[in-house]
Chain A
Amino acid sequence: MRQVFASPVFVAVLALAAGGIARASLRAVPALALLAALVTLPLLVLALARLARRDTLAARLASPALFGALLLWLWEMLVLGLHIPFVLLPPPSAIAAAFATHLGTLATDFRQTYLHAVIAGYALGCGAGFAVALAVDRSPFLRRGLLPLGNLASVMPIVGVAPIMVMWFGFDWPSKAAVVVVMTFFPMLVNTTAGLAAAGVMERDLMHCYAAGYWPTLFKLRLPASMPFVFTALKLNSTLALIGAVVAEFFGTPILGMGFRISTEAARMNMDIVWATITVAALAGSLSFGAIALIERAATFWHPAFRR
């Protein structure tokens, strides 16, 4: 019996149950809700602390999941309990409801912003950055000239080119894709260039000993050695691309798109739709990042960060 009590799963289930009671009785019996909430908090913290002491994969996944649940629950309880204005911060339940009701609109916006602008711009920008890095690699002079500029450009507020791109390429998604291209180009250029220089002196000398020319050295040594750097840029760019596309829509767009939805519905005070759109963006961002991270794990399994 003591073992059951010590199990973090049991404590977590208990905490979630108490949290559920607190939420359900919030309007009807506020006193009960407060009592249940006072039980929930220490139980959740206890469950988190117990989980943190275990090293299994399940515990490693459960910890952040439970913490996320705690945050959502706190958000819901505080917003409803303290009567925070809907406009300022809608409760998660209202956002979930809006998500369900406006699924069609959200899907159209997602298609416009993500499937068109982000993916096209991401592919073109990353591809161009990689290609230019490879091309410049053969001329040390050009590389020395371009690298400081690329480094500088990748920390510049490049989103600022959005209005120019909208002027040049019109209101529809190509102008957003163009912003994404410009934003993703420089991180990829800089990282690929750094990656191509990453192979060690001894590994290069080895290729020299085999009298290997430029291309075998590139394909057998320098490109594989550069992959961790390329993936760093791919991951960084997956977030940048979404930001670029959404922000570009603030400068003019046909009447759809995630950025358009956020700015117009915020002006109309329909905060639940705004938050539902942000949820879509957050999910899209996290999932694309996660997908690239998984590919990275498979492609650079040899890197010290992933070795088993």
Chain B
Amino acid sequence: MGESAVLASDTAPAPSAPVVVEARGLGVAFEADGQRVSALTSVDLAIRRGDFVSLIGPSGCGKTTLLRAIADLQAPSGGTLTVNGMTPAEARGARAYGYVFQAPALYPWRSVARNVMLPLEIMGMGRSERARRAEHYLRLVGLGDFARKFPWQLSGGMQQRVSIARALCFEPTLLLMDEPFGALDEITRDGLNLHLHELWRRTGMTVVFVTHSIPEAVFLSTRIVVMSARPGRIIDVIESPLGAVRDLGIRESGEFLAVAHRVRAGLRAGHSYD
């Protein structure tokens, strides 16, 4: 909580804040039909503690690939990548990050509370502590009353909130989110964006957030990384001038529109609209 007090004055973390994720000349290539397809080339990026970084770009720009490389779900083919100063594999072993997928990926045979406890069970945490944490984080995402329900009895937005609670419950310092609200309708999405913003401000954790949506990226981020396709690369990194405390009304402000405009310009420069 001390972290958030520091952050309250200004959204951008102090330049002295330690680097959490660092990529240098990072490249990822796939084998498809016997051909080598480059998904990501020479990515240089440093994400500092307390950052909320959005990766935005057209399909095929490698934003999800970059996130998966950080999570050690995808092996890089060149360059270096460190997470908390370790290799991604070591960081995964140390349970350094929580991951939220495009879909909730909840296990239907487990109740909501037991879904949240799943990572804790795997990490060998005691029963009472598991229960305490599940209750705490479910309340944090506003689902305290749904602990005994099963995932399929909840709406899509609620399911995605459960999956966020699951990613938070072992208290990682880094949260990786891969288009978590992409499948939801816009009204639900606005609500969850606001909620996520509050959560980030209160916990002061580092978030890497992949999205398709320009307003979503601008609303949530302290920094926006604009990417382009063929080959996947970074076009622009935008520091957000918006303050730490934001509400949905901010989206009509001139500052907001200026940032959105710059993101759109970056996408155009990367031929995203061709």
Contacts and interface: CB of A to CB of B under 8 A. Distances in A.
B107 A224 contact: yes
A206 B101 contact: yes
Interface string B54-74: 000000000000000001110
Interface in B90-113: 92-93, 95, 97-99, 101-103, 105, 107-109
* Chain A binding surface SS class: helix
Interface residues of A, number: 23
A210 B118 CA distance: 9
* Chain B binding surface SS class: loop
B123 interface: yes
Interface in A200-244: 200, 202-203, 205-212, 216, 220-221, 224-225, 227
B1 interface: no
A279 B101 CA distance: 54
Given A216-B122, A302-B150, A302-B152, A209 B97 contact: yes
A202 B108 contact: no
A221 B108 CA distance: 10
B108 A303 contact: yes
Given A209-B97, A210-B122, A203 B107 contact: yes
Contacts of B95: 210-211
B122 A212 contact: yes
A208 B105 contact: no
B152 A203 contact: no
Contacts of B93: 211
Interface residues of B, number: 23
Contacts of A207: 122
A210 B71 contact: no
B78 interface: no
B109 A224 contact: yes
Contact of B107 (A211, A221, A303, A304): A221
A210 B108 contact: no
Contact of A209 (B73, B108, B121, B152): B73
A7 B119 CA distance: 56
A253 interface: no
A206 B99 contact: yes
Contacts of A203: 105, 107
A300 B99 contact: no
Given A202-B105, A302-B109, A209 B122 contact: no
B152 A210 contact: no
Interface of A: 200, 202-203, 205-212, 216, 220-221, 224-225, 227, 300-304, 307
7 contacts: A202-B102, A206-B105, A208-B73, A209-B98, A220-B121, A302-B108, A304-B152
Interface of B: 71-73, 92-93, 95, 97-99, 101-103, 105, 107-109, 118-119, 121-123, 150, 152
For the complex of A and B, the 10 pairs showing the least CB-CB separation, nearest first, are A302-B108, A202-B105, A302-B109, A209-B99, A212-B122, A224-B109, A210-B122, A211-B93, A202-B101, A210-B119
